[in-house]
Structure 1
Amino acid sequence: MAPTATITAKGQITLPKRVRNALGSRIVRLEIQGHTVLLAPVHSVAGSLHRYVKPAPDLHAVREAVWREVARDKGSRRLS
């Protein structure tokens, strides 16, 4: 018989020990597929967040943009 768990009023469940042992991790990723929820172990928190990481901006481009903004701001102050 497959293990079952009850969802509490707070939306929490306690996974049976057999399921926790099979996962081998205290952190899990939940994936919804239709009316089914899949649990997958996450062995690294950083690995689970990789899809949210934006590439680092080009430092040279950022520096140039800031200098242009400062120059424009200083130029407009001199005119007023």
Structure 2
Amino acid sequence: MRLCKEHNIAVELNGRGCLAQIDPSWIQEANDMRLLFVCGADAHIPQELSEVNTMLQLAEKFTIPKQRILNYWSKLELLDWCKDR
């Protein structure tokens, strides 16, 4: 997580069947470090795309500000962030 912070890299909350496997202390630590997040579904079929919403709800539960969740960023914000990659 330290390297994510140093290099401004977003960490993924991935909904692909791993919700029960996510360690809440990891999410809290990442949030306390003010890391960026992206919520993903890792969908392999269209019906699995809703897992993004599950991960967004999880982020809300941990009071991760929307300003640090790439899913809520505008296209211009994302492009600007990507320029540094």
Q: Rg larger in 1 or in 2?
A: 1
After TM superposition, the score normalised by the length of structure 1 is: 0.23
Q: Which has the higher contact order (CA 8 A, sep 6+)?
A: 2
Higher strand share: 1
